[in-house]
Amino acid sequence: MSTSPALAEAQARGLIKDVTDLSGLEAAMQSSISAYAGFDPTAGSLHIGHLAPIMLLRLLARHGHRPIAIAGGVTAQIGDPSGRTEARALLSPSEIDRNLARITEQLEALLGQHTPVLDNSRWLGQALMPAFLREIAPHFSVSRMLSAESVSERLDSCKGISALEFFYPLLQAADFLTLFRREGCVLQIGGSDQWSNILGGIELIRRVEGAKAFGLTQPLVTTANGAKMGKTASGAVWLDAGMTDDQAFFQFWRNTDDADVGRFLRLFTEIPLAKIAELETVTGSGLNAVKERLAREVTRLVRGPAAAEKALTSARALFSGEGAASADLQAIEVGSAELAAGLSLAAVLHRAGLADSRGAARRLIQNGGVRIDGKKVDDPGAELLPAIDGQTVSVGKKRHARLLIRS
């Protein structure tokens, strides 16, 4: 067991994969330290894959340490090659600015007013780049950068890697050095694919400042069936309610596989570990209440108490059969013109992410797995009629949405 209460709890919750120097970090954490995690604004919202570092930053704060979040306005202009088989599409400056503003709001809401959220353009801006290159670049050898897993894998593939992406680890190391100097930050947190980048920052601090710093990586969170956490047939599960509505967000957690419930309670909630151990003893139909607790806790954290209670009420109405029509469901919008031209139910199920393909949707219908307003649909080629406006489509027992006609 770790001698640091914060590390001990983080380990027990499954929030840690590797630490560069565990005994050294334990010693440093006998007093308060500053730690940071970076979030590049490559989309208009964070998604639930970002919750693991957020939960660790919150845990550190509860134990008296000082978390810092970086919203990478500059690093987003390049794109981290780690864990990717090809380069990200480059965003325009206006897109990055919009994304930056939104994820900054999300981080501030999730981490609280005492956690600074900093934009690295404050120290990596265009005017500062020549000085950055003179100070930082001499400490990085090309041979070492080529040996990084994210680089070597891309070089071995037919995709290759651009000089722009190749430059990314230097920027991340510069972030760590800057935070060490300005904020006394000695710990960087990242995903397991960030190990090489984190080591670069630690080595830079050692060379330039002659000081000790630490790195901590987190495991890639996957579901019981091996799928990457937060990926569904319709794409990522976003923290922004405008991109994934409250009911769909709640339902994602409510539909957690039985084998994942205890692990997700530890990773994504702040329920005490002793209580989680108690909840893990629940079996059979009682697991539904535990899944509700998981969904309620995560939705409350991300969307607020009112959204969590409303989603819970709607979900209970659906599962009890006591008025699905009143539930606040994900909307599937159908154009009146395409409806008039002939639109199959299978196509709509695929579009809404309720089936992986049109063929899969037709098989679901044929096997009796689809209902509209509680009535089973048995024709795989069924087309939607104008009367569907406002009706509820259900796939199995757990996935529901409302069909809406729009001009």
Greatest alpha-carbon pair distance for the chain in Å reads 72
Q: Which amino acid is at 404?
A: L
Q: Is the Cβ–Cβ distance between 68 and 74 less than 8 Å?
A: no
How does DSSP assign 259-270, residue by residue? GGHHHHHHHH--
Q: Is the Cβ–Cβ distance between 181 and 209 less than 8 Å?
A: yes
- Rounded CA-CA distance 306/311 in Å is 9
Residue 36 labeled ligand binder: yes
- Rounded CA-CA distance 348/358 in Å is 8
In angstroms, the Cα distances linking 222 to 7, 48, 182, 243, 334 are 22, 12, 36, 22, 33
Residue 231 labeled ligand binder: yes
Q: How far is CA 354 from the centre of its chain?
A: 21
Q: Which amino acid is at 304?
A: G
According to DSSP, the β-strands at 185-191 and 34-39 are parallel
Q: Is the dihedral of CA 111, 113, 116, 117 positive or negative?
A: positive
Residue 251 labeled ligand binder: no
Q: In what order do the strands lie in the sheet containing 66-71?
A: 18-19, 214-218, 185-191, 34-39, 66-71, 117-119
How does DSSP assign 149-190, residue by residue? HHHHHHHHSSS---HHHHTHHHHHHHHHHHHHHHH-EEEEEE
Residue 376 labeled ligand binder: no
Task: List the one residue out of 81, 87, 57 whose CA is nearest residue 70.
Answer: 57
Which residues sit in the known binding site?
Answer: 36, 168, 172, 231
Known binding residues for L-tyrosine: 36, 168, 172
Q: Which residues are annotated as a binding site for ATP?
A: 231
